[in-house]
Chain A
């Protein structure tokens, strides 16, 4: 019990925050939002995966990646490739000159399925690929960079360049990737219609549970000894190195983990939105993911989720009515967060939150009563 309470939830504040977040996305939002808005929210929550991964990578390890879109895209494209192959069965594509291959390949005069599309006929392979491909890719980048002690600004720029390369490649190789339009027209998952409202609802809940799961796993990592090492590395890398730790391996691990988390988000994005395109891979989406984490609080896993939701709802609201204002606002937000609120919403909550929580202290007291046996047990253990 203590293990669950301390390690997985992060103590009193962590638990309260986690329960509030879970209640919001699992109960409150589905109750009050119609199915369209809920689907939109689900889409935003997939970005939250990337934001959470950046909390691990940037907030705790001090390694800023401007290329989380790469991994989001890898996950999303892997899922999209599977769904596309299912959607382009020979019966569905009978009017094409080569039936049985995705429509965009047919338009680009490709007559047989490229070899790297072949394995995506299998759902099991796709699920494994969503997790393994980004991890391997991140490992290659991470090993090459961190082993040579490249970090900081250089790392940020190299990841950004890789994001550019990937985008240009996807857009340029239209016949293999669907080009700028991406992979569209995805209909079924193992014969199950993913465009129906009920499917979207189910995906929304799967997405929520995955996100909460990712938060728990991340919390476990951060509260473990490894988490303390990450912090130590961020603040005094040399000292950790001189203490005999292999700094590079820790960084590679956290970079791979962040990549996998982002990729899960990408795969869920494809499932809920029904397409994947290079506009979720390049510089702009990648850096937007950083601002989600920054606004939410780069040191707060749960704050990152709120940051993502806040910015995306703001973006939707503003770009519908005043598109010009939105970029000004977004730019201002970047500057303001960096200059005045480096710990984002979570930092504000820590500084001013107690004014609010005092008013709701009866809830907190309720929690304390629930928790009291736990604490007593813990004290007992110490003795």
Chain B
């Protein structure tokens, strides 16, 4: 760590750490949806990144409309954008499950290919509707700027907001899965699909809503994403591999594992990025993950569920 004093190093870690928190939030939101879907149905949704992009584009759309027709509403639109992003992405996910995925539950590898096809179609739709250029919505005033606790540390407000949003969504998902009766049905289906069907749970309906929920959360991730970067048609693809690694590394179907692995991956990448080039930071992070997974294929926190 040549050339840096301890104080500087501390500040670097703090600032890169906070930069990592934005990445952590987006990764966690993406991974939550993916983990729920994968954990319950064993389905890998390659189009998950595109559902995130749907959320991001919805935010952009809403921002543009508000800016043009209701300028006085600008400070508040973002909250609505999150809700709209959730429902639009969720609804599209519902349709995708209905039209495509429910026919392929017995063939997980084929689902992977079919959802890849879906992602290609969605990418091209984004390009046709919103253009190939990257777009970013005009953010409300209160999301801009930063908070400076000491001179050398500069914490962007949008990161804090995204973190809070992630916390709310994660708690919501936890509550939904572990405290509501619907969550009970989901967990029962995850553990034993046949028996759940036998005791009267409509597993097909559970599947469909779970898939929709997962995609909806990806939509929220998209809305959060607009605060840290601009959105293009291929934005989703850039994040999908990282998200998979989060899910696999954390151990599928483990909420705590997903959080821990999203945090470590995002922080490792963000802090390494300061010292070496961004591409090498990614290489080292992914390489470390692959190596760890080779020795511990079940991930950090494997669920003890018998399958």
B107 cross-chain contacts in A, Cβ below 8 A? 338, 342
A373, CB-defined interface residue at 8 Å: no
Nearest CB in chain B: distance from A237 CB, A: 14
Taken together as a complex, chains A and B put the C-alpha atoms of A361 and B44 apart, in Å, by 46
Taken together as a complex, chains A and B put the C-alpha atoms of A224 and B57 apart, in Å, by 54
Given contact pairs A162-B290, A291-B113, A153 touches B42 in the complex (Cβ within 8 A): yes
User: What total of chain A residues lie within 8 Å of the partner, measured CB to CB?
Assistant: 42
Contact across chains for B241 and A161 when beta carbons are under 8 A apart: yes
Contact across chains for B110 and A331 when beta carbons are under 8 A apart: no
A171, CB-defined interface residue at 8 Å: yes
B109, CB-defined interface residue at 8 Å: yes
B118 cross-chain contacts in A, Cβ below 8 A? 331, 334-335
Taken together as a complex, chains A and B put the C-alpha atoms of A165 and B280 apart, in Å, by 9
A273, CB-defined interface residue at 8 Å: no
A291 cross-chain contacts in B, Cβ below 8 A? 113
Contact across chains for A168 and B282 when beta carbons are under 8 A apart: yes
Scoring B44, B108, B113 by chain A CB atoms within 10 A of each residue's CB, the highest score goes to B113
Q: Which A residues from 150 to 174 make CB contacts under 8 A with B? A: 150, 152-154, 156-158, 160-162, 164-165, 168-169, 171-172
Chain A 267-308 interface mask (CB, 8 Å, partner B; 1/0): 000000000000000010001001100100000000000000
A332, CB-defined interface residue at 8 Å: yes
A144, CB-defined interface residue at 8 Å: yes
A331 cross-chain contacts in B, Cβ below 8 A? 117-121, 124
Chain B 276-303 interface mask (CB, 8 Å, partner A; 1/0): 0101101100110110011001000000
Identify which of B104, B121, B244 contacts A161 (C-beta below 8 A).
B244
A342 cross-chain contacts in B, Cβ below 8 A? 107, 110
Which size bracket describes the interface of B in this complex?
A: 35 or more
A328, CB-defined interface residue at 8 Å: yes
Nearest CB in chain A: distance from B199 CB, A: 28
Contact across chains for A165 and B290 when beta carbons are under 8 A apart: yes
Contact across chains for A161 and B290 when beta carbons are under 8 A apart: yes
A236 cross-chain contacts in B, Cβ below 8 A? none
Identify which of A153, A158, A165 contacts B108 (C-beta below 8 A).
A153
Contact across chains for B103 and A339 when beta carbons are under 8 A apart: yes
Q: Which B residues from 119 to 160 make CB contacts under 8 A with A? A: 119-121, 123-124, 127-128
Nearest residue, chain A, Cβ from B124: A327
Q: Which B residues from 254 to 295 make CB contacts under 8 A with A? A: 277, 279-280, 282-283, 286-287, 289-290, 293-294
Q: Which A residues from 131 to 152 make CB contacts under 8 A with B? A: 144-145, 148-150, 152
Given contact pairs A287-B116, A331-B120, A335-B100, A324 touches B128 in the complex (Cβ within 8 A): yes
Contact across chains for B113 and A338 when beta carbons are under 8 A apart: yes
Contact across chains for A294 and B113 when beta carbons are under 8 A apart: yes
Chain A 19-36 interface mask (CB, 8 Å, partner B; 1/0): 000000000000000000
Give the 9 A-B residue pairs with the shortest CB-CB distance, closest first.
A334-B117, A172-B279, A331-B120, A331-B121, A327-B124, A144-B294, A335-B117, A331-B117, A338-B114
Which A residues have a C-beta under 8 Å from some C-beta of B? 58, 62, 64, 66, 144-145, 148-150, 152-154, 156-158, 160-162, 164-165, 168-169, 171-172, 283, 287, 290-291, 294, 324, 327-328, 330-335, 337-339, 342
Which B residues have a C-beta under 8 Å from some C-beta of A? 42, 44, 100, 103-104, 107-114, 116-121, 123-124, 127-128, 237, 241, 244-245, 248, 277, 279-280, 282-283, 286-287, 289-290, 293-294, 297
